Amino acid sequence: MTNRTGTASALTLSLGLAAALALAGTVALGLTLPATVEQGEYSRLIAIHPGLAWASYLAFGVTAAASALWLWPRTRSSRWDLLAGSSAEIGVVFTALTLATGSIWGRPTWGVWWVWDARLTLSALMLALYLGYLALRRVPAPVDVRARRSAIAALLAVAVVPVNHFAVEWWRTLHQGRSLAQTTPGNDLDGIFVGVMLLGFLAMTLVYCWLLVHRVRVARLEDRLDEQSLAVALDERRREAVLAP
Amino acid sequence: MWRDAVLVAGKDLRIEARSRVATNQVAPFAVLVLVLFAVALDADRRVLEQAAAGLLWVAVLLSTLLAVHRAQGVESAEGTGDALRLSGLDPAGIFLGKAAAVAVQLLALEVLLGVGVVVLYDIDPAGLGTLALTAGAATVGLAAAGTLYGVLATRSRVRETLLPLLLLPVVAPVLIAATRASEAALAGDPLGAAPQWLGLLGVFAVMYVGFGVVAFGPLMEEA
């Protein structure tokens, strides 16, 4: 494991295959969903949009948990720091995709690309929050300093999400309620839609896991490269010293 | 802890009183922002009147960035940060002191901006009690969050650009809640919405003062 130079393994291969299968199924089933009366062709976005949103929450949750594990002295290990950073990166991508697919859906349905409804505003704030977190991680610092700083920032970020939630929720509410809460009888989300949506959740979760394993391994390789280049530089300087008269 | 906080706050406020950066630069900047808003909105009295509360709090947020910058700036020059760390003061006290100093400056600034809004935007001051409570709770939250993120972003060469990116999404609830509470206060609070927003401001303030007291020590050690 420590001498690995690539990021592929049996685990990523099987995760990747499962993710590809689930995604292919989601796309195939999503495209064959019937167009609904109210939303027309765009209702099919339900196959991927809620799944993307779920994966972004999962990613930020993992970041928070890994950060807490790093801060807890008994479980402190650089692997939690790498996991937190990698997960946040993927979470940012999923949040951006959530906003993009939501916009594509909102344009024909609400008539505008963007409305200032509670959940959109919250997602946009969350995106900004974690972009800040990633920017903080890029600030050059010793590994331990970076880890502590990032872990505290991640916990602060996750703590402010509920406050943001209440603020924007009271501020305005237009978004339809939570997707799964709408599956009560008599609702227009019928079985096939729910099934495809749940498959979308599974697919996005698998994609997230697959990306995460690869990203953590890349981060570990980056750290190793840093260490090695330092050792190589030291070695060169020593040789120069020997050569010098 | 409290004694240390008073010491640090006194030190920071003395520096500000003597250097006059807050009065000569931050305060004129904040008023300038109010003027710029009026220019951007075409000095339409009705628009300005409707948006006054929001514009006021945006001006406060922008000034908070400057004040926090300044508060961290005095600790990064000439090794004063190291001196502060070696002084043996309680980190929680240092946090509370620095936040209190920022809060005092912000409160003074809010009074100035309030007068500015009344004069420039033609607002009838009403609901002064609610406004004072709003300003108090929002200021504590802004100062605490600002000081905490200030030390998080400090000692990095990209501090100027990093701090707004870190701080502004975090204080978004303060902007929303303070704006709504001020609007309600100015309108005589017909819907009774102000207490809800004040509560949110209070929760935010308590949360960030708590985080600061706990997290400031570890963050200061490493910087």
Residues A198-213: tens digit of each pLDDT = 899 999 999 999 999 9
CA atoms within 13 A on the CB side of B58: 11
Report chain A's C-alpha Rg in angstroms: 22
Q: Residue B6: count other Cβ atoms within 10 Å of its Cβ.
A: 14
C-alpha–C-alpha distance, residues A228 and A170, integer Å: 53
DSSP-derived 3-state class of residue B156? coil
pLDDT in tens, B25-74: 888 898 999 889 888 887 677 888 888 888 999 999 999 999 998 888 88
Q: How far B165 CA lies from chain A's nearest CA (Å)?
A: 5
C-alpha–C-alpha distance, residues B170 and B162, integer Å: 13
| CB neighbour burial string for A139-175, b if at least 16 within 10 angstroms, e if fewer | bebeeebbbbbbbbbbbbbbebeebbbbbbebbeeeb
- How many structural domains are present in chain A? 1
Q: Which of A132, A140, A166 sits opposite B169 (nearest CB)?
A: A132
Amino acid identity, residue A84?
A
Asked if residue A180 is part of any domain, the answer here is no
Tokens of B164: 């707004």
DSSP single-letter state for residue B122: -
Backbone torsion region of residue B79, taken as left when φ is above 0, otherwise alpha when ψ lies between -120 and 50, otherwise beta: left
Lowest mean pLDDT among A119-133, A164-178, B154-168: A164-178
Q: Do A148 and B218 touch (CB under 8 A)?
A: yes
pLDDT in tens, A40-53: 667 778 888 889 98
Q: Do B162 and A166 touch (CB under 8 A)?
A: no
Q: Which of B149, B158, B177 sits opposite A139 (nearest CB)?
A: B158
Asked if residue A239 is part of any domain, the answer here is no
Asked if residue A133 is part of any domain, the answer here is yes
Asked if residue A217 is part of any domain, the answer here is yes
Asked if residue A183 is part of any domain, the answer here is no
**Residue A62 belongs to domain spanning:** 10-34+43-174+188-232
Query: Is B219 within 8 Å of chain A by CB?
Result: yes
Q: A81, A139, A161, A173: which to substitute to probe chain B, counting the most B Cβ within 10 Å?
A: A139
Asked if residue A242 is part of any domain, the answer here is no
Residues of chain B numbered 165-184 and touching chain A (CB < 8 Å): 165-166, 168-170, 172-173, 176-177, 180
Asked if residue A238 is part of any domain, the answer here is no
pLDDT of A243 strictly over 60: yes
- For A106, the enclosing helix (H) or strand (E) is helix A78-110
Domain coordinates in residue numbering, chain B: 2-222
